[in-house]
Amino acid sequence: MKITVLDGHGLNPGDLSWEDLGKLGELTVYDRTSTSELMDRAKDSEILITNKTVLDADTIASLPKLKYIGVLATGYNVVDIEEAHKRGIVVTNIPSYSTMSVAQRVFALLLAVTDRTEHYALENRKGAWNRSKDFCWWDTPLTELAGKKFGIVGMGNIGKAVSRIALAFDMEVLAYSSKDASELPSGVVKVSLNELYHDCDIISLHCPLTPSTKELINNETIDKMKDGVILINTGRGPLVNEKDVAEALEKGKIGAFCADVLSSEPPSADNPLLTAPNTYITPHIAWATKEARVRLMNIAVANVEAFLDGAPQNVV
């Protein structure tokens, strides 16, 4: 069985091993695959493993030997699922591997806004505290999280994990979710989206990207929010209209925007969020802790093994 990994560098830049996957077939691993390289690399493969390399309908239709596509992520929009199903090709993803790592990133970003730890560490290196006339020194507002209203849009595994951490900070947690209130963690209050926008000091996005959630955050919805709201997006970049958010930051309507994802990745140099004030943006690395990547690798191998055993798992 010929197995080809089209873009393995994101998962494994060199600190993990492909050995277990290699035990399941004739394995070839590419760090990255361009559009022009794709057909030549994939043409003889029965198993293709992709992370962000797009396998559209035309590509899939041109690969008669292909029997299985493994996506090295939870989202699988890079694969034309309809075409794969039409041709009897099994497609799997990797669910729930990075839940706690992404939840951790949410609060790393939030604390960067409220506590400014990096700012003060850098200022101290420059001697700011040494020059102080008092025992303490600060030049930014500092904010306590306890008592603040924390709104979560989407209560899947990550949303639930985020809610539990927010409750541990003694925040009031409001959630907009398709789930029944009884399915939410204890202490989380289910509300309408408009209530969440209106009431919350902090809003964190954890919903899937669908036609109804694309640019969920825009001028109209921002106007419903509190002045100075902190907005966090570790879900999908297109959940927000980046131009509208940048303008709201310039006006001070949004107090801070935190994100680990943008609409185009890597972003273009003219993305307005890259130069907007009070932005805290990390380069799509919330999922990338070594612990999460080890889980991802183990699940990816188990998915292929289950397929070969005739009982595929995590099928989409």
Active-site residue list: 236, 265, 284
Q: What is the enclosing helix (H) or strand (E) of 255?
A: strand 254-259
**Tokens linked to 14:** 């060199």
CA–CA distance, 260 with 237 (Å, rounded to integer): 8
Q: Report how far residue 120's alpha carbon sits from residue 146's, in angstroms, rounded to the nearest whole number.
A: 22
In 13-30, which positions are buried (b, 16+ CB within 10 angstroms) versus exposed (e)?
eeeeebeebeeebebbbb
**72 in Cβ contact with 300 (< 8 Å):** yes
Q: What is the number of alpha carbons within 13 Å of residue 36 lying toward its C-beta?
A: 0
Distance CA 109, CA 20 (A): 35
| Cβ atoms < 10 Å from Cβ of 290 | 10
